[in-house]
């Protein structure tokens, strides 16, 4: 089972403390997995379930992505590398194996530059060596600002940017010469990446900029590092970059493989061929985390052992529990996994947390069939604009679908800012059909 945890990195050298969210799975030697931009560690869940048979897989959200805090200022690749090493320090890991794909591999290579013996073996999937012409093409077009706009126009750009990234590389250079051989219109995959971009927001630019501007690093012959494999598969635009690498030192090698499955098999075999110590007990925070509920996880925050359990409204997310209380993302909302029988699940959650004083919100007024429209992914991202329009209207009318003077509510300026609408939109998209499920359960629970 994959578990999820938070870890606070203390302030240092003028940088504020920051939070790291990480996933863990498996047993045996520690294996650090660093994801590509603009994804999160969620992209490694299937891989962790496979490789967890051989390693204790540890996959953090990189700074600014997923649920991890961004780095201070304008971080370069060395700052991301140092942050990765600092995470290992706070986690309690002195040495480990590591794997990173694309920008994740760049971060790990530069972490090895800072601490050459920290990784007992390092596997990289696709290692970029950009030409000056490519860098000029990317420029700022690859990292355009991503900020909410009043009427959700940014969501149209986001959906199409993610969708067409699988058609052309880079997505904005639409020519036959730049077509990708692995193009798709996989709505579930596009939706997953879109949601990760909504988590990162404008912070995605820092990670991309650091990776795009990072000079490729290869250890000098005199430097003693752990063994390194750089692998790239057919269809990966970075496979051709293998020919651009400088001469590799002893213990470093490359591999061209036919596809993603062959790439992962090659990397796993390489990592397993090098010995490593078992993973120690890992540090984690105790004021926020996840509890297991069957095969899923429920996100909580507050004072563990408190008797008051604060529950949020349908389609919303975890609220500040206040002192001597604990709050959760209701199953299917926020960071919590969904369940089939919500009422039974809430009873099990209360029993596990030791709470007996639930704090219930009032169910919103209106017709549930209208309050919670279908927000399933659609081919051209129409569902994103539907969620945005709903989230804007609910700050102006109650219920939101009754757009008339009789149902107008006082305007609260803070509720109608693009940033506030963006948070409500993301919450609704995360909840999906679980919002209606929670509404129906909540109506039955009212005193």
pLDDT of residue 140: 76
Run of H or E residues at 357: strand 357-359
pLDDT of residue 129: 94
Contacts of 198 (CB under 8 A, 6+ apart): 158, 422, 425, 426, 429
pLDDT of residue 446: 83
pLDDT of residue 291: 97
Cα distance between residue 98 and residue 336, in whole Å: 28
Place of tokens 């679908």: 401
Check if the beta carbon of residue 261 is closer than 8 Å to that of residue 235. Answer: no
Cα distance between residue 230 and residue 104, in whole Å: 12
Burial class of residue 116 in the structure, from the number of CB atoms within 10 Å of its CB (0-12 exposed, 13-18 middle, 19+ buried): middle
DSSP string for residues in 306-343: -SEEE---TT-------TTEEEE--TTSTTSPP-S-HH
Cα distance between residue 59 and residue 62, in whole Å: 9
HSE, side-chain direction, 13 A CA sphere, residue 183:
11
Question: What are the pLDDT digits (tens) for 58-81?
Answer: 999 999 999 999 999 999 999 999
* CATH number of the structural domain 3-139+204-272: 3.40.50.1820
Burial class of residue 312 in the structure, from the number of CB atoms within 10 Å of its CB (0-12 exposed, 13-18 middle, 19+ buried): buried
pTM: 0.95
Regions in the chain scoring below 70 on pLDDT? none
Place of tokens 């600002």: 145
Question: What are the pLDDT digits (tens) for 208-250?
Answer: 999 989 999 999 999 999 999 999 999 999 999 999 999 999 9
Contacts of 2 (CB under 8 A, 6+ apart): 23, 24, 25, 45, 48, 49, 52
pLDDT of residue 94: 96
Nearest to 395 by CA among 412, 370, 383: 412
Nearest to 416 by CA among 400, 395, 390: 395
Partnered with residue 324 across adjacent β-strands are none
Burial class of residue 198 in the structure, from the number of CB atoms within 10 Å of its CB (0-12 exposed, 13-18 middle, 19+ buried): buried
257-275: b or e for each residue (b if 16 or more CB lie within 10 Å)? Answer: beeeeebbebbbebbbebe
C-alpha angle 152/431/59, rounded to 5°? Answer: 95
Residue 71 in tokens: 């780095």
How many other β-carbons are positioned within 10 Å of the β-carbon of residue 418? 17
Nearest to 211 by CA among 130, 117, 144, 96: 130
Locate the domains of the chain by residue range: 3-139+204-272, 288-359, 368-437
């Amino acid at each position: 089972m994959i578990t999820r945890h938070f870890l606070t990195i203390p302030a240092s050298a003028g940088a504020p403390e920051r939070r790291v969210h990480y996933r863990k799975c498996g047993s045996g030697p520690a294996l650090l997995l660093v994801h590509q931009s603009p994804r999160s560690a969620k992209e490694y869940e299937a891989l962790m379930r496979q490789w967890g048979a051989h390693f204790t897989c540890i996959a953090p959200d990189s700074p600014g992505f997923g649920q991890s805090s961004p780095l201070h200022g304008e971080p370069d690749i060395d700052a991301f590398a140092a942050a990765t090493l600092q995470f290992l320090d706070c986690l309690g890991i002195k040495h480990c194996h590591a794997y990173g794909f694309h920008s994740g591999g760049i971060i790990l290579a530069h972490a090895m530059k800072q601490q050459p013996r920290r990784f007992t073996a390092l596997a990289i999937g696709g290692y970029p060596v950009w030409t000056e012409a490519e860098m000029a093409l990317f420029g700022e077009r690859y990292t355009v600002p991503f900020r909410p706009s009043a009427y959700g126009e940014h969501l149209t750009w986001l959906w199409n940017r993610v969708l067409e990234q699988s058609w052309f590389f880079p997505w904005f250079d639409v020519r036959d010469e730049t077509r990708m051989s692995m193009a798709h219109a996989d709505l579930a995959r596009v939706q997953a990446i879109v949601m990760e971009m909504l988590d990162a927001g404008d912070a995605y630019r820092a990670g991309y900029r650091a990776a795009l501007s990072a000079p490729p690093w290869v250890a000098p012959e005199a430097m003693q590092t752990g063994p390194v494999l750089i692998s790239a598969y057919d269809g990966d635009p970075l496979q051709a970059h293998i020919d651009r690498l400088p001469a590799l030192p002893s213990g470093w090698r490359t591999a061209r493989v036919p596809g993603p499955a062959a790439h992962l098999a090659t990397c796993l075999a390489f990592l397993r061929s090098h010995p490593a110590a078992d993973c120690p007990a890992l540090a984690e925070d105790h004021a926020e985390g996840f509890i297991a509920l069957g095969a899923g996880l429920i996100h909580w925050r507050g004072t563990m052992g408190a008797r008051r359990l604060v529950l949020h409204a349908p389609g919303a997310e975890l609220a500040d529990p206040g002192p001597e209380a604990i709050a959760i993302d209701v199953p299917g909302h926020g960071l919590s996994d969904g369940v089939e029988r919500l009422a039974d699940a809430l009873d099990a959650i209360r029993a596990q947390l030791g709470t007996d004083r639930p704090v219930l919100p009032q169910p919103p007024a209106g017709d549930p069939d209208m309050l919670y429209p279908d927000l399933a992914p659609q081919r051209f991202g129409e569902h994103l604009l539907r969620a945005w329009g709903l989230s804007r209207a609910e700050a102006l009318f109650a219920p939101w679908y009754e757009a008339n003077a009789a149902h107008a509510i006082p305007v609260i300026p803070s509720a109608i800012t693009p940033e506030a609408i963006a948070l409500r939109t993301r919450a609704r998209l995360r909840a999906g059909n679980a919002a209606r499920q929670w509404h129906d359960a909540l109506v039955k629970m009212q005193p």
